[in-house]
Amino acid sequence: MPEKLLEIKNLKQYFNVGKPNMVKAVDGVTFDIYKGETLGLVGESGCGKSTTGRTIIRLYDATEGEVLFKGENVHGKKSPKELKKFNRKMQMIFQDPYASLNPRMTVADIIAEGIDIHGLAKNKQERMQRVYELLETVGLNKEHANRYPHEFSGGQRQRIGIARALAVEPEFIIADEPISALDVSIQAQVVNLLKKLQREKGLTYLFIAHDLSMVKYISDRIGVMYFGKLVELAPANELYKNPMHPYTKSLLSAIPLPDPETERTRRRIPYDPRVHNYSDDEQLKMREISPGHFVYCSEKEFAQYKAQIKK
Ligand SMILES: Nc1ncnc2c1ncn2[C@@H]1O[C@H](COP(=O)(O)OP(=O)(O)OP(=O)(O)O)[C@@H](O)[C@H]1O
Ligand SMILES: [Mg+2]
């Protein structure tokens, strides 16, 4: 069995947006993230992907639920020292490399921020040495250190964001749509950089994405979210081959096909949550329909899905 790096248990994040309204951005999700894997998280805009990531990493306090990092509860009472330790282990890369880099700081200071906070360099010289190494690691160079973010292209800025995340030697990185704001021609380069870094450093990723073909390429497993709930979780190939939840089927039917002939006959499958026709007493939860393939469903649907997948 692969080692569990993170265990997310019944995580909830409700936002109070003026009583009595409550946005249930994340509404009880449970999943594990294994050491060294890339777990892709997909779903339409507003389904709660970013909020899930931000809550895991503690940018928000969870409304309910637990996040365990190597068996240790990340949320709950923590001393400043313990919090600092977790902050170092878990880093985030953001979608918008323009907004996430302080325009008034040099690249060196941006990258070294975490080094300074965590006291990872003994002196100025060592600090700059680390910055130079990090620039090289992400495909930039020494000469870039004293420049400002506006002097760089989108792809280069994202590399700076990656260097900043790597500076504290994290084990887990949440990449929240790290390539969506980039030119298509640059996207593959950044994805390949992330993959290379993962191989070299044994990093674990939660990769949040819109682009379903890119997420298939980068992910070992993929989770599908719908309205704050995780509705399906499976190895990447399995999910594309045997999507079971009707929402997953709908989502996958939206991917354009490379072959123009088949693309012309592609049909979008709409999803209407009423198809489930759940009664009040039915217990809904993630159930394992084949090894490693989980679907959020009732007992009755569980039997149907299992029969379908055998065929
Ligand atoms: N700070 C907040 N306060 C109130 N509501 C919020 C807050 N952040 C997110 N929401 C709401 O929570 C829901 C989930 O938002 P979230 O940003 O997590 O979705 P997402 O899946 O990341 O969407 P996208 O694909 O557009 O990035 C949405 O309804 C959003 O409006
Ligand atoms: Mg988002």
In the structure encoding, which two tokens stand for residue 26, read together? Answer: 């994340």
Q: Distance between alpha carbon 298 and the CA centroid of its chain, in Å?
A: 27
Candidate from 77-86, 167-176, 196-205, 301-310 with smallest mean pLDDT: 77-86
Which is higher by pLDDT, 262 or 221? 221
Is residue 64 left, alpha or beta, with left meaning phi > 0 and alpha meaning psi from -120 to 50? beta
The atom number, within ligand 1, closest to the CA of 53 reads 18
For residue 46, how far is its CA from the centre of ligand 1 (angstroms)?
5
**Atom 6 in ligand 1: residue holding the nearest Cα:** 15
**pLDDT surpassing 80 at residue 34:** yes
For 189-216, the pLDDT digits (tens) are 999 999 999 999 999 999 999 878 889 9
For residue 55, how far is its CA from the centre of ligand 2 (angstroms)?
12
- Which residue, 73, 32, 12, 71, is CA-closest to 288? 32
Q: Kindly tell me the burial class for residue 62, based on how many C-beta atoms sit within 10 Å of its own C-beta (0-12, 13-18, 19 or more).
A: buried
Across 84-102, average pLDDT: 88
Report d(CA 163, CA 111) in Å as an integer.
6
Pocket of ligand 1, candidates 47, 60, 176: which has the most ligand atoms within 8 Å of its Cβ, to mutate?
47
For residue 258, how far is its CA from the centre of ligand 2 (angstroms)?
27
In the structure encoding, which two tokens stand for residue 309, read together? Answer: 């997948």
For residue 169, how far is its CA from the centre of ligand 2 (angstroms)?
25
For residue 189, how far is its CA from the centre of ligand 1 (angstroms)?
28
For residue 59, how far is its CA from the centre of ligand 1 (angstroms)?
13
In the structure encoding, which two tokens stand for residue 149, read together? Answer: 């973010």
4-227 carries CATH number 3.40.50.300:
yes
Q: What is the pLDDT of residue 150?
A: 94
Confidence of residue 254 (pLDDT cuts 50, 70, 90): confident
Strand order in the sheet with 22-34: 22-34, 4-16, 64-69, 72-73
Q: What is the pLDDT of residue 26?
A: 98
The atom number, within ligand 1, closest to the CA of 60 reads 1
Report d(CA 69, CA 75) in Å as an integer.
10
Q: What is the pLDDT of residue 259?
A: 87
Residues with CB under 6 A from ligand 1: 15, 17, 23, 25, 43, 45-51
Across 65-89, average pLDDT: 89
Q: What is the pLDDT of residue 138?
A: 97
Q: What is the pLDDT of residue 255?
A: 86
Share of the chain above pLDDT 70, in %: 100
- At a CB cut-off of 8 Å and minimum separation 6, what does 192 contact? none
Q: What is the pLDDT of residue 210?
A: 80
What residues pack around ion ligand 2 (CB closer than 5 A)?
A: 50
The atom number, within ligand 1, closest to the CA of 51 reads 18
Q: Calculate ∠ Cα 179-238-302, nearest 5°.
A: 120
- Closest ligand to residue 48's CA: 1
For 164-180, the pLDDT digits (tens) are 999 999 999 999 999 98
| N-term to C-term CA, the chain | 27
**pLDDT surpassing 90 at residue 285:** yes
Report d(CA 25, CA 226) in Å as an integer.
10
For 109-129, the pLDDT digits (tens) are 999 999 999 999 999 999 999
The atom number, within ligand 1, closest to the CA of 177 reads 27
**Atom 8 in ligand 1: residue holding the nearest Cα:** 51
- Closest ligand to residue 92's CA: 2
Give me the residue spans of the domains in the chain: 4-227
Axis crossing angle, helix 124-137 with helix 154-166, rounded to the nearest 10: 130
For residue 267, how far is its CA from the centre of ligand 1 (angstroms)?
29
The rounded mean pLDDT for the chain is 93
pTM: 0.95
Q: What is the pLDDT of residue 95?
A: 86
Confidence of residue 188 (pLDDT cuts 50, 70, 90): very high
- Closest ligand to residue 46's CA: 1
Neighbours of 36 (CB within 10 A): 17
